Structures are given as structure tokens and as C-alpha cells.
Amino acid sequence: MSVAIVTTGLANVASVRAALRRLGVEPRLTDDPREVREARAVVLPGVGALGPAMRRLTERSTSGDTLAAALSARIADERPTLAICLGLQLLCASSDEAPGISGLCTFSAHVARLDAAPQLPHFGWNEVAPDAEMTFVPAGAAYFAHSYAALAAPAPNSKGAKGAKGAKGAKDAATAVAWTSHGARFVSAFERGAVLACQFHPELSGDYGAELLERWLARSLPDRPRTLTEAATC
Amino acid sequence: MLMQRIIPCLDVDRGRVVKGVRFQGLRDAGDPVERARRYQAEGADELCLLDVSATHEGRASALDTVARVREVLGIPLTVGGGVRTLSDARALLEHGADKVAVNSAALARPDLLREIADTLGAQCCVIAVDAARRLAAPPGTPPPALACAPVEDTFEVITHGGRARSGVCAVEWAARATALGAGEVLLTSFDRDGTGAGYDLALLRAVRAATRAPIIASGGAGGRAEAARHGVEAFAAGADALLAATLFHDGHMTPLTLKSELARAGYAMRLGAPRTPSLAPEPTP
């Protein structure tokens, strides 16, 4: 299996699935931790509320594994993983949206409500400005739909990846960050290795988003066929 | 900086785009998938698809239309029309909508908004408010005891495609709906719909003062000559996005042309992705 979309039963995956199909990838939908560990690339889409989503990720499967552990292991190893919107927030340590509920803690950031913003939710197109040259995220306008965001640059959290193979070396890798402003400056994307987290929705960001997804897929599946038709004839 | 949005609207009946004036006199305006593809290429920031089918078969075909539009569309898709239950909303999202617009059903049972927002997220819950100016009382009628605003500047929610007046204050309803969980207000002026006379600015100002949620102004976009001026007026009155159908369907203007004019008027608009450094060789001297 090449690309897996993690379904929590709460998130709408039709848009991200359609976007991947347009780029020649037929993703598989799964809530099986084993498949999340084994897939070459994984998308953690994010729509919905943080509390219920986190509960679903920490539920044990029949094998005793959890989606949370499978995702944390991938991220610690910097394997191709794309977290979108709430997906980005789930990688963080905590959120104002669900006080007392711990996130996956793979990154040390806290997620706060964008209370200084004139309008909430933050709906629409806004500028994404990378700190420095990023592998996947260019400067441009992307589509956002959220009320919460990380306000400080996230750092890999070795504690959160406890027990996961490869966690030790994680701190050596740089985490590149892109910023956006809505009332306050917040983290609109960050990347480390083949791990990419976007507060915006690349699948809804027109050509900008398609180009970003293409870059991430090119890195994650360098040998993939370019189109679905090509895949079908192979 | 958050940009203002331009949203073409497709009124869809039995798989075809239709358009009328003041919700009536619908005529065929093409294939929704082709329209969707074209509007995205022409710079639309989002797309809105309203199912105006009156029949059960029409409703079923709407899900199929949503799925076909999703296949080609890489910008947000809001779908409304006939959303009565949480499972209606869920079905639309599963077929590819990013947001669902809820109208009369929420008026009848406001908790529907809370259910959708809590289960599926506030970001996908849009309250569609169809508002009409209150009709003047027949001559000789005494003014209502609690009238505190002139009749011409008060608005009521209308339902059933404009055939029924609810008596509910449109401004208070928008505030209540967003407090219950709706993340955005799609505010349509019944009086201006399809007329090209400009958005209803008094309505926009009143709703802007009543909620912090983004407002999509709908109903009244003018033709090529007036569209940008109408847009500037609507943004100044508090709109975050403009919805238009006739303006784009009849080929008077593309979303990008309208956005360029609005950008010249000083508004932040998305005018196309900055190109990444070209891989083409430097021109030789």
C-alpha cells in the first residue's frame, strides 16, 4: 500500500482523497494502526473537534496497538506523514480547545484560540510566509478554516515519542516553519524530514495546494506513476 | 492578511445549473462540473452549490452532482438546499462537500446547528439566512407596539423559496445561529436576488454588528460595470466574501477580473499563485 488516509470516523476525507486522485494516487482509507505503521505515506486529515479525534486515536485496536502510537513512531522516524489542519494540532502537546486532553506530543507546541482576530473562525485565503527555504511549502496564498493555532515554533518532543524507534536522533533535525497572520502570527506549516504539517488545507488551496502535495508525494513516493490512468495500465 | 473571497454560486436542479430572479423563473445555465472546473480556473476562491430541487429524485441526484464536482474541484465547496438532519449533512460531506449550508430546518429546530457543529465541526456548518425587508403595514394600520426601527430597515427570515415569511428577525437569527455553532453566515437578500441592484448594505451592516463569524453577501451583484463598486460597498458594510451567480454565468465577468478590480480598490484578494522560480534557462544576451 502506498498512501493511507487515517480515518477517525469524524473527519471528512472526500476532498483530500479527490486531491490525491488528481495527482495520480489512489489512497486507501484506514483506521488500522498496523496499516498506518506500514504505509509508505500517511495523511492525517483534520476536520472536527480535537477532543473526540484524540479519543479515537488512542483507542486500542484488537491487536492492542493504537493509531496514536503508530503515528508517533512514523513521525519520530521522519517517515512521509502529512498532517492537515486539526491533524497539525493533534501532533502538538495541548490545546485550548480541549483543556486537560493531551495531544500526540510529537511536537512541544501549545495550540491556542486566535482570540485577537477580528473574525473567527479564520475562514479563507491567507498568505503563507516560510521562515527560510522549505522543502514542501512555498510562499503563497492557502485556504484556512480553523479557530485554533500554534503561536510558537514547534520543536520535536523526545518525551512524546518515548519508546519510538529513532526518537533519539530526532532533535538533530531542523524543523522548518512557515507563518501566517490573523490577529496574531501563528504557525501555518512546519516540516521535518518527510513529515509535513499544514494548518491550512492543501487539498482546497487550488494550484498552490496541488503543487505542495505534488512536492510531498514526489519525495514520499519517488517511483509513483504520474496519473491514475498510467497506474491502471502498469 | 486574510483576503476577501469571491464565490460563484451554482443553483442546481436535477443535475443542471439553473438561475432565476427573486428565486423564481429558473432557466438552464449548464453542466455543474464544467462550470466548477471553469470557475476554479478563472480564479474563484470557493464554490457554492445550492440544490434547488423540489423533488425527492432531485435531492438524490444532488449527492451525485456533489461527488462529480468534487472530483475536479480543488477549492472549498459549500453545499446547501434541503439539509434537514445531521445525517443529511454527513452525507453531503461524505460525497465531497467541505461545508453544508443549513436553512429552514435550523429555523424550525435550531439545535440542528449545534449537532452539526459538535459532531462535524463548526468549520463545516454554514447558516444560510434568506432575509427580506419587512413589508410595510397596509395604510391605516396602527404601528406595532414594540416597533423600534423604521420598517424599511428591519429584516425577517423568509423560507420556502420566498413564499413564506417567518416573522423571525434575520439579524437576531444570524447571531443566535452562530452562537449555536454555525461558523459562517451566508446572507442572501431576497429583495435584491438576481436584480443586479447591489447588495443590501443595511442588512449587511446589521448582521456584521451582531456576529463575529465571516459573512458571505449574496443577492444583488450587478453586471460588469457595477460589480466591483457593489463589491466595495459590501466589503465596507462588513462582508468577508461575495457570492454571485448571474454575473458569472452570463459571462459578463470572470471571478479573476472582478478580483483584480477589487484589488485595485485596495482590498486584499488572491490574484494567482506567485510562480516558483522558473526552471527555464536564462535568456542569452
Query: Of B118, B214, B273, which is closest to A123 when you measure between CB atoms?
Result: B214
Query: Of A121, A124, A207, which is closest to B5 when you measure between CB atoms?
Result: A124
Which of the four pLDDT bands, split at 50, 70 and 90, describes residue A1? low
Predicted pLDDT of residue A168: 43
Higher pLDDT, A60 or A44: A44
Give the pLDDT mean for B227-245.
96
Which of the four pLDDT bands, split at 50, 70 and 90, describes residue B159? confident
Per the CB < 8 Å rule, is A123 touching B71?
no
Which of the four pLDDT bands, split at 50, 70 and 90, describes residue A49? confident
Residues of A in contact with B212 (CB under 8 A): 118-120
Predicted pLDDT of residue B277: 41
User: In this complex, is the C-beta atom of A227 within 8 Å of any C-beta atom belonging to chain B?
Assistant: no
Interface test with A, best of B48, B92, B95, B98 (most A CBs within 10 A): B98
Higher pLDDT, A234 or B250: B250
Q: β-strands A148-150, A176-182: how paired? A: unpaired
Nearest to A139 by CA among A86, A189, A197, A89: A189
Per the CB < 8 Å rule, is A123 touching B274?
no
Q: Which of A11-20, A164-173, B149-158, B204-213 has the lowest mean pLDDT?
A: A164-173
Give the pLDDT mean for B47-63.
82
Angle between helix B111-120 and helix B170-180 axes, rounded to 10 deg: 40
Looking at the complex, report in whole angstroms how far the Cα of residue B201 sits from the nearest Cα belonging to chain A. 19
pTM of the model: 0.89
Higher pLDDT, A5 or B53: A5
Give the pLDDT mean for B81-99.
93
Bridge partners, B77 (sequence order): B47
Alpha-carbon span B119 to A62, nearest angstrom: 25
Which of the four pLDDT bands, split at 50, 70 and 90, describes residue B141? low
Residues of A in contact with B120 (CB under 8 A): 10, 12, 47-48
Per the CB < 8 Å rule, is B1 touching A123?
no
Per the CB < 8 Å rule, is A18 touching B124?
no
Cβ-based neighbour number of residue B58 at 10 Å: 18
List, in order, residues 6 or more apart from B233 with CB less than 8 Å away: B198, B199, B201
- In A50-131, where does DSSP find H-type helix? 50-58, 67-76, 86-91
User: In this complex, is the C-beta atom of A209 within 8 Å of any C-beta atom belonging to chain B?
Assistant: yes
Looking at the complex, report in whole angstroms how far the Cα of residue A193 sits from the nearest Cα belonging to chain B. 21
pLDDT digits (tens, 9 = 90+) for B105-128: 999 999 999 999 988 888 899 999
Alpha-carbon span B80 to A185, nearest angstrom: 33
Looking at the complex, report in whole angstroms how far the Cα of residue A158 sits from the nearest Cα belonging to chain B. 31
Per the CB < 8 Å rule, is A124 touching B214?
yes
Predicted pLDDT of residue B151: 55
Predicted pLDDT of residue B24: 59
Q: State ipTM.
A: 0.88
Asked if the model's pLDDT at residue A87 lies above 60, the reply is yes
Name the catalytic one among A105, A203, A214, A230.
Answer: A203
Locate A215 and state its grid cell. 512536492
Give the pLDDT mean for A125-149.
95
Predicted pLDDT of residue A156: 83
Cβ-based neighbour number of residue B130 at 10 Å: 26
Residues of B in contact with A21 (CB under 8 A): 71
Which of the four pLDDT bands, split at 50, 70 and 90, describes residue A228? low
Strand runs labelled E in chain A = 3-6, 28-30, 41-44, 81-84, 94-95, 110-113, 122-130, 140-146, 148-150, 176-182, 184-192, 195-198
Q: What is the C-alpha R_g of chain A?
A: 16
Name the catalytic one among A85, A92, A105, A198.
Answer: A85
Q: Is B88 a catalytic residue?
A: no
Which of the four pLDDT bands, split at 50, 70 and 90, describes residue B284? very low
List, in order, residues 6 or more apart from B62 with CB less than 8 Å away: B12, B51, B53, B79, B81, B82
Per the CB < 8 Å rule, is A14 touching B240?
no
Cβ-based neighbour number of residue B88 at 10 Å: 19
Q: Is A201 a catalytic residue?
A: yes
Residues of A in contact with B67 (CB under 8 A): 14
Asked if the model's pLDDT at residue B211 lies above 90, the reply is yes
Give the pLDDT mean for B217-233.
94
Predicted pLDDT of residue B95: 94
Asked if the model's pLDDT at residue A53 lies above 50, the reply is yes
Asked if the model's pLDDT at residue A173 lies above 60, the reply is no
Query: Of A125, A139, A145, which is closest to B274 when you measure between CB atoms?
Result: A139
Predicted pLDDT of residue B145: 54
Q: Look up residue B98 and give its amino acid.
A: D
Give the pLDDT mean for A171-176.
68
Buried b (16+ CB within 10 A) or exposed e, A212-232: bbbbbbeebbeebeeeeeeee
User: In this complex, is the C-beta atom of A48 within 8 Å of any C-beta atom belonging to chain B?
Assistant: yes
Alpha-carbon span A39 to A221, nearest angstrom: 11
Give the pLDDT mean for B179-196.
93
Q: Which of B75-79, B131-135, B168-172, B180-184 has the lowest mean pLDDT?
A: B131-135
